[in-house]
Amino acid sequence: MTELIPSIKKLRYLAALLLIVAAAASTELAAAPAAELGEPAPALKGTLFSGQAFDLKQMRGKVVLVNFYSSYCNHCAYEIGNLETFYESHRDQGFEVIVVGVDPLEDRHRVERMVGLYGLQGVMADDLSESGFERRYPTPTAFVIDREGILRSRTRGSKTPPYFAEHVLPLLRSK
């Protein structure tokens, strides 16, 4: 009988471990990104650094790039000039950029300053009133939404002119 006690303890331990792993897996599945390519873009609503309210749904008819950004990210610093250049050249064709800062709120001034220097619109992730996107993504991560509000592209990494030619220009050309 005393030989069974260690075996029972081991079984209880394994059962508890299995429950923990199963709970973690179900939590991870529940936290999967709601942003699926080919589907309507998730909700995104809040107040920009400029004080202007915005709602991604109200931007239908435009091609929108939602860019998750950190002021501490070297790749973000590299790409922001590319974002500005493309935005300035194509906003009259219905192109918009929303920069979502993922830094802690105490660093809002860093994000707001950088976004402002480049003439882009931005908001802090923690200030959004509604978001179907995750709170954070590896930075930079961009989502491109077409004129009908459908998510067409999700890209991690710096955006360069070839990126815009491949992912944004075709959407701007189709009206």
The predicted pLDDT at position 137 comes to 87
Query: Can you read off the two tokens belonging to residue 69?
Result: 């950004």
The predicted pLDDT at position 31 comes to 42
Compute the distance between CA of residue 106 and CA of residue 122 in angstroms, rounded to an integer. Answer: 16
What are the two backbone dihedrals, phi and then psi, of residue 148, each rounded to the nearest 5 degrees? -95, 0
In order along the chain (175 residues), what is the average pLDDT of each group of 10 residues? Answer: 60 53 41 73 96 96 97 93 96 97 96 96 96 89 97 94 95 90
**DSSP class of 41:** P
Cα–chain center distance at 117: 21
Residue 5 host element (H or E): helix 4-30
The predicted pLDDT at position 138 comes to 87
The predicted pLDDT at position 17 comes to 47
Strand partners, 68: 100, 141
The predicted pLDDT at position 143 comes to 97
The predicted pLDDT at position 21 comes to 44
